[in-house]
């Protein structure tokens, strides 16, 4: 017998106004690979993007101050530990000691709300 197909859930994250272009991120808890981790959502060039807060170089959180991920130019997500830079639109490495891309988390913006979407490897924290 086959497992039931995975069905993604949409989870309300924050009002749209909480995310400004190249501004502070909104963090949220996710279960990734059975562990509780942090995700973060940012807005860049008017679109919302979200990733697991885990550098591809060493699996550490990346913000250099709470919820601050963008470098001084406002164009790159930068890891505070060794300076890896990632493209906020794709999570791909731009420079530094990355070992791959960031783990993306799907988002949508409907009306004035931002939602993140579960995936087979990204689940909400059970209550």
Q: Is 16 strand, coil or helix?
A: helix
Query: Total residues contacting ligand FES (rule CB under 6 A)?
Result: 12
Determine if 102 is a binding residue for ligand FES (CB under 6 A).
no
One symbol per residue from 52 to 71: x for binding ligand FES (CB under 6 A), - otherwise; what is it?
Answer: ---x-xx-x-x---------
Residue of 16, 23, 64, 97 interacting with ligand FES (CB under 6 A): 97
DSSP letters, 38-102, are EEEEEEETTEEEEEES--SSSS----SBTTB-B-TTSSSEE-TTT--EE-TTT--EEESS-SS--
Determine if 84 is a binding residue for ligand FES (CB under 6 A).
yes
Smallest distance from ligand FES to CB 65, Å: 15
Determine if 92 is a binding residue for ligand FES (CB under 6 A).
no
Strand-pair partners of 104: 51
Contact range with ligand FES by CB under 6 A, out of 3-11, 44-52, 81-89, 118-126: 81-89
Distance of alpha carbon 88 from alpha carbon 50, whole angstroms: 9
- Write down the residue that tokens 């550490």 correspond to: 60
Smaller CB separation from ligand FES, 42 or 114? 42
């Amino acid at each position: 017998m086959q497992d039931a197909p995975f069905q993604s859930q949409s989870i309300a994250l924050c009002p749209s106004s909480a995310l400004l272009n190249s501004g502070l991120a909104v963090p949220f808890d996710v279960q990734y690979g059975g562990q509780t981790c942090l995700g973060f959502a940012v807005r860049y060039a008017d679109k919302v993007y979200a990733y697991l807060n885990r550098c591809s170089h060493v699996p550490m959180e990346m913000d250099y101050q709470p919820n601050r991920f963008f470098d001084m130019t406002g164009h790159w997500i930068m890891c505070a530990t060794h300076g890896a830079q990632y493209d906020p639109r794709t999570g791909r490495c731009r420079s530094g000691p990355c070992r791959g891309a960031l783990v993306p988390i799907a988002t949508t913006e409907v009306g004035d709300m931002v939602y993140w979407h579960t995936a087979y490897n990204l689940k909400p924290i059970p209550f």
